[in-house]
Amino acid sequence: MRRSRKVKILATIGPASSDEAMLKRLFEAGADVFRINMSHADHDLMRTLVGRIRDVEKAVGRPIGILADLQGPKLRVGKFARGKETLAVGQTFTLDDDPTPGDATRVHLPHPEILRSVEPGHRLLIDDGKLELKALSGDGRSIVCTVVAGTGISDRKGVSLPDTDLPVGALTEKDRKDLDAALAAGVDWIALSFIQRPEDLAEARKIARGRALLLSKIEKPQAVKRLDEIMELSDALMVARGDLGVEMPLEAVPGIQKQITRAARRAGKPVVVATQMLESMISAPVPTRAEVSDVATAVFEGADAIMLSAESAAGAYPVEAVATMNRIAEQVERDPTYASVINGQRAAPEATGADAISLAAREIAETLKLSAIVTYTASGNTGLRAARERPQVPIIALSPILETARRLSLVWGTHCVVSEDATDLDDMVSRACRIAFEEDFGEPGDRIIITAGVPLRTPGSTNMLRIAYLEPDGQSGH
C-alpha cells in the first residue's frame, strides 16, 4: 500500500481502537505509526497491543512503527479534608511535607525535591494552570505562596513548575519498568516525557542499548532553552503542545513549534507535532476549520509526522479522525505553494560524502523528473539523509532489517520496504527497479535514481549514485 503523502500520521491507540480489526482500519485510513501511552496501559495490555499491531503488519505486508510513550514524573498535590477548597486571589497558601489532609490554607506536597528547589518568585501552576501560585518563601520543608489567578483546588491535581529546574531525572521507577517491558516487547520508538536537560536521556539510552530509538518530548521551558543539546542526544523530537502550553504562555507555543520543527529539520532529526490537532473529533465526525488549518500548518512546516491523541484513542470517530488527517495532508502537499515553502526552509548539507550524495540525488531526481529516489540503508541513516532533503519525488528506503524499516515509518517521505541484501552492484540496481515497479512508483520507461554504499554492506559508506530505467518486466535496463 502506497501513501499519497509524505508526512506521516502517528495514531494513539486506546479503548476506542485496541482490537485488531480497528487497528487494521486505522492503518488503511492512513496511520503509519501507533502510539501506546504507558500512562494508561499496563504491561499485559501493552504486550497485547504490540502483538495485534504485528499481526496487522503481517496482514497488510507493510512495516508499521510502534512508539511507547513513557509517563515521566507526575507531580501532584495531596488530598484535602473536604476533597476540594476555594481560594481567593491574593491570599497566602502553603505547600508542605505534612501528610495531614489539606484545607483552605495549606496542602501536602509529596515531592521533597520541589520543596527544596522552588525559589521566591517561581510560579507553581496547579491543574493545568487553572490555579496559579507564586512562591513567597521556602525553607526546604514548605513553600509559602500567594494566589495569583484562579480559585479552585482539589485532591491530587497536577503541579507544573515552569521556572524551576528540578534535580531529578526524567525516568521514574514506573518508567524504568515500563521501558524494560516495552523493549522486551520489541517497540521501535521510546518517547521520553518532561525532558529538562540533555542528561535526562542518558539513563534511557543506557537501558535501551540501541534496541529502540529515543524521542524527546519538548514540553518544558527548560527543554526549549537547551533544545540544541537535547536534540544532539535524541533520535527524534516531539512538539508536545499540551504541557508546553501550560508552562509557557499560550501565544508563545506556535512560534516555539516552528523553532523546534525547523531546528529538527536542519539537524536531520524526525520531528512530530502533537496535541489537540483534531480535538473536536473526539465527539464530532468533522473537525473545526481552525483544526484543519492547524494540521495544515504542521504539514507546510515539513514536520515528519502529525499525531492524534484522544481523537483515535478514546474518541467516538477514530477512523474518521485518521482519514480526515490523511485528506488534509494530501491536499496540502498538492497545494501549489507547498513546494516553495518546503524548499525555502531546506538546510544546507553537512560537509560529508553521504550528505553530498543525498543532495545530488535530490537535485538530479527533481531536474530529470525521475520517478523515485531509492536508498539502500541498513541502519536507517541513509534514509534519514534522503528525507532531510525533503525531495519532491518519493523516497523508497530498502533495508534488509525489519526493525530499520519500522523505525523509518516515522520519517517524512520514506516508503519502507524490507528486502534481502543485494549480492552485487547489478543485483542492487535490478532489485531497486523491480521494487519501484512492484510498489507502483514507476512504469516501464520511467527512471529512478539509486543511492547506496560501495562496497556493499559497509555501514556509513553512502558513496554511489546510479540512474536506471524500468524495463517492461520491471527490471532494470541501463
The catalytic residues are 35, 76, 217, 275
State the cell numbers at 89.
486571589
Q: What phi, psi does 146 have (nearest 5°)?
A: -115, 145
Please, are residues 63 and 405 in contact by the beta-carbon 8 Å criterion? yes
Q: In what order do the strands lie in the sheet with 462-469?
A: 414-418, 395-399, 372-376, 447-453, 462-469
How far is residue 400 from each of residues 387, 392, 414, 419, 429, measured CA to CA in Å?
19, 25, 15, 5, 15
Angle, helix 43-60 to helix 20-29, in steps of 10 degrees:
50
Please, are residues 318 and 312 in contact by the beta-carbon 8 Å criterion? yes
Q: In what order do the strands lie in the sheet with 92-96?
A: 106-108, 92-96, 142-149, 131-138, 123-126, 159-160
Please, are residues 36 and 68 in contact by the beta-carbon 8 Å criterion? yes
How far is residue 300 from each of residues 118, 324, 345, 346, measured CA to CA in Å?
40, 16, 10, 12
* 321: CB partners within 8 A, 6+ apart: 278, 281, 308, 311, 312, 315
> What are the beta bridge partners of residue 96?
108, 142
Q: How many CA atoms lie within 13 A of 412 on its CB side?
A: 32
State the cell numbers at 186.
520489541
Residue 125 to residue 101: CA distance in whole angstroms: 20
Burial class (CB in 10 A: 0-12, 13-18, 19+), 211: middle
Angle, helix 253-267 to helix 289-300, in steps of 10 degrees:
30
Q: In 3D, which of 358, 377, 239 has the Cα closest to residue 297?
A: 239
State the cell numbers at 57.
503488519
* DSSP of 166-198: -SS-S--HHHHHHHHHHHHHT-SEEEEPS--SG
Q: In 3D, which of 3, 34, 7, 5 has the Cα closest to residue 271?
A: 7
Grid cell 530499520 in the structure block, residue? 404
